[in-house]
Structure 1
C-alpha cells in the first residue's frame, strides 16, 4: 500500500493526542517540550499531505488508495489541530483569561514549582478551575451567591487528585503587592485554613471581608 507509513504514523499521532488525558500529567519536566515536538510533527504531516495532494492532482485522482489515505489523514489532522496548541496556550497564557467577557471573576495563583492555577466565575453561574502543572486538569460546576458567600454545586472533578471546594468568600488583604483582593476557598465548614486565589478581575457585587494574608 502506497504511503502506508505516513498513514500509520498519522493514526499513531491521533491516538497519542486522543489519550493525552491519561499521560500528560505524568511526563514531568518534559511535558511542554513534548507538546512542542507534537506541533512540529503536525507541521511535517501537513507538508507531506500537501505533497500527496499534489500527486493526486497530477494523477487526476486515478489512484484510489492514495485518495483514501489522503482523506483519512485530512480528517485526523482536522481532529487534532487544536490539542497541542491549546495545551501550550493554557500553560503559558493563563493570565490572559481576564479578556473573556463572560467572566465575572478571575483569580490566579502561581508557585515556584511551575504550577499555575486559574479560577473563573462565569456570567451564566458556572465556574471553572484550571490547574496546570506538567499537564492540564479542570474542575467545572455551577455556583450560587448567598449574602457574601459563593456556594459551589454540581462539581465535576477533572482528575482524581483535584480538590472539590464547597464554598468561598472574597477577602480584602491587609498586606498585598499587586492583588488587593483574594478569593478564599473552603473544602467544607470544618476547613478553617482555606485556599487563596488572588483576584485579577471582579465584577461581582460582594462585600469583601478584611483579613490578614498570613
Structure 2
C-alpha cells in the first residue's frame, strides 16, 4: 500500500503524525498511571537524541559499534522497553515483573533493529517491497556495515569517496554485500540477533516463574513474537 505522504503529501502526513503523538500522550495520562506518562516523555527525549546522533553521523563511516548501539538503544529499544513497561503497569504487575518485561522489550527492540539492518543487505527485495542497500545509500552505519568496514581493508575509504561524490552505485553495493558474506559480517549479525532474542526469552522465562503469574496467555504471545524476530524475512 502507498505511504500516507504519497497520497496526502508531506505536510498533511507530518501534521497527522504530530496529532497522533499528542493523542497517544493524552490517552496515557487518562490512565492515571503518571509514572508511565513520565517514562513516555523520557522515551521521546531518548528517541530525539538518538535521531540527532544518527543525523550527525550520516555519511560518516568512522563510527564504532558502540555509536551504532547508542542510536539503536535510543530509537528502537527505548520504545519497545516502554511499551512492555506500560503494559505491565496497566496489568497491575509488581516492580520485579515490570523490570523483567522492560528487559524483554529492550533486548527484543535491539534484535528487531539488527535484523532489519541485515535484511537491508541480505534480504529479498521482492518480499521487503523495497530495494536493498537503502541504509548504505543514505550513509547510515548499520551493524553489519560496521563489522565489514573493520574487517575489509580499503573498503571504508572507497565507500567514503563514493558518498562524497554523491552516492553508492549498484556495483559497489554488490561488492559490499560480497565482502559482508566473506568476512562473516552477515553471519555474525545473525548470531547477535539470535543471542538478543535468547536473552529476551530468558527474561520472559524468569517472569513466568514469578509468584502469582499463573497461566497467562500473554506470556505465550510474547514468546511467539520473540521467536519470529530473528527469523523474519520481511
Higher normalized strand content (fraction of residues): 1
Higher normalized helix content (fraction of residues): 2
* TM-score, reference length from structure 2: 0.30
Report which of the two structures shows the higher radius of gyration computed on alpha carbons. 1
* TM-score, reference length from structure 1: 0.32
Report which structure shows greater RCO (CA 8 Å, sep ≥6): 2
